[in-house]
Chains A and B, each alone.
Chain A
């Protein structure tokens, strides 16, 4: 069975893909659907959803269009999620690969360095980094990447260590390939599937981290994000609960979709480990 066939036969994963594509479409089309942007004060504040034409989800504390805020928030969430994951992979994959492949003191050094980051709680470190660097989209993305690469490094190291002992690696060595070439061309490609699974889940975690930071007021004040919406609306949660509820639902749905996709990828890439096979 091809990869795609295995993946598409997983209903949960397909639902995840559809939701994610929908969120991506909304994010991309936000400037077209809501040309006024998310910050414009368009109506009286605190209009309930479905109560006013043209404002399907009502208005927030300053009379801004909640639907527009959600759409623009999707841009920030996805962007931060994707970019920070890519950056985390760029740090974690080479470090883990080198550590696992060369072993000895290189491994020791790289792993102690990784542990240094792992001993500090993720979120606390992210808060400190953002607070020091001043909250902008760049600094938030960077902070999230910095707190999320250590598990990648450890995963890649473990995979590389198991792959490098296989026979085809010995064969490559016999064929006279340099160590670096063996690592890049022979070993790494064989570790890709767990990395892909992990990356899809990391995007979800990154979205949650960004939302948490924005909720605490450490978001980029010039970028509309879901976490910011919840944070700003929590002061009025007793009177206008939907202002926190709607962005909350957006986060839940997006993160759920990414998790479903990750699960589906995991099953598709490791068929002998999938739940169906196990059953």
Chain B
């Protein structure tokens, strides 16, 4: 008994300790790059908008870095055994920033009316939904037509931001003048946007979670030049550099400064996955042996260490290790030039040149393409680097005018949301650089992808996806490169900033500054 008490006390102490240490007050300066086109998250979902508006708006759930759902506007939820009915109980005493009460009607309006019209990515998930109803003011029920496992990941703030019904109902959403002064339920309220300079958010004093937020105000600073952003951090003008806001080469210099911390976490929901499209239709890349040879020729570990300064993970297949249902029970392609040469000899490669199209996103990607060209020429593949701008890259990939082309895409937490689109034959459509651009056509696997999306229990899906990964990795439809990691750099006295799968996007909610 004494033992039990002691343990209880210890656990209580452990839980209480950080809570005691948290200090209120202070201001946080965060770089936002580039300047967002707008802040009404229901209308615009660009990266920068998600980062700023993730503090203003909320959705029903938040997700841990392991993609476990957590309460947000919903305090609890249940999923029926057949996977068809999702019931959410909402928080009590929530108000909009303008003082109006928040109710289940706002959720129904947002999901069923507003976002259905404005949000393409959510719309494809809503296609599985039969009805969205509010039996009372604090309950929302989503009923699906058929089971859709990934649906639980649809309640992230960038995917389903809850917008105020009393402001938008019956208006033209795109031209509503309230878009300039967004009203949400989040921990911070919009104050001022000085175009080209900063966006100012202030603490929501009436936030429904006791004690939150800790910070008084946030300034999202617009600094257009990468070098200037690094300098602003060095001089102490800004406290946080979110992932991707400085060049990779500057990262070590900044993180070695005193009192500076960095983390690669906070991107799990997006899980940016980099690969090269290999044109499966024509040329040497249409031969499976050639594609396997490419995988063995690449020194992906080197690229991770040198080009990405050690950030990231070598990808083993189509699904990121940060996404649900990842399996490592697949053929591992290590850096093995001899094996690559054997495969090339076996297929009878005649030295036909292959074009490599780099991603025109700056020096890091250019160096990466050069490293790949070097790896491939070392095993005897004749490579030409193409050169292009963003528009040209979009054009060439979406019109299939390439042999190998760099890209990276988000996975959104579930293979059915962000992975299968790149491998099933129904997604072979000219004109988009985000679908099955490589032209991989495997009807047997298509069936498995589709079946796995609508299985009821996670265990079933786990088995199905493991099988798919094992099979597809041997076919090498594309050359998987790295699970990218964009480190967030911040001053160490900023605490608890990155705690969720979308990192800085909704991190300021619980962040605090140690004085």
Tell me the A residues contacting B by CB distance below 8 Å. 39-41, 45, 61-63, 131, 134-135, 217-218, 220-222, 232, 235-236, 238-239
Contacts and interface: CB of A to CB of B under 8 A. Distances in A.
B306 A39 contact: no
B366 A39 contact: no
A232 B385 CA distance: 16
A229 to B, nearest CB: 12
A278 B388 CA distance: 53
Contacts of A62: 306-307, 367, 370-371
Nearest to B307: A62
B366 A61 contact: no
Given A61-B249, A217-B366, A232-B363, 4 more contacts: A40-B374, A41-B306, A222-B385, A236-B249
B462 interface: no
Contacts of A61: 249, 306, 367
Contacts of B371: 41, 62
A222 B253 contact: no
B98 interface: no
Contacts of B366: 217, 221, 232
Contact of B387 (A135, A232, A235, A236): A135
A220 B371 CA distance: 16
A239 to B, nearest CB: 6
Contacts of A134: 386-388
A62 B303 CA distance: 9
Nearest to A136: B387
B377 to A, nearest CB: 8
Interface string B116-132: 00000000000000000
Q: Interface size class for chain B?
A: 20 to 34
B253 A238 contact: yes
Contact of B374 (A39, A45, A220, A221): A39
- Main SS at interface, chain A: loop
Interface string B297-311: 000001000110000
B97 interface: no
Nearest to B306: A45
A220 B387 CA distance: 8
A217 B386 CA distance: 12
A61 B364 CA distance: 10
A208 B151 CA distance: 58
A220 to B, nearest CB: 8
Best-surrounded residue of A134, A218, A232, A235 (most CB of chain B within 10 A): A235
Contacts of B250: 235, 238
Nearest to A219: B387
A39 B373 CA distance: 9
Contact of B384 (A40, A217, A222, A235): A222
A102 B303 CA distance: 63
A218 B249 CA distance: 21
A45 B377 CA distance: 20
Contacts of A217: 366, 387
A235 B363 contact: yes
Contacts of A232: 363, 366-367
A221 B249 contact: no
7 contacts: A39-B370, A39-B374, A134-B387, A221-B386, A232-B363, A235-B249, A235-B250
Nearest to A236: B249
Interface in B344-377: 358, 363, 366-367, 369-371, 373-374, 377
A221 B386 CA distance: 7
B328 interface: no
B385 A239 contact: no
Given A62-B367, A217-B366, A235 B374 contact: no
A228 B385 CA distance: 14
B334 interface: no
B146 interface: no
B306 A63 contact: yes
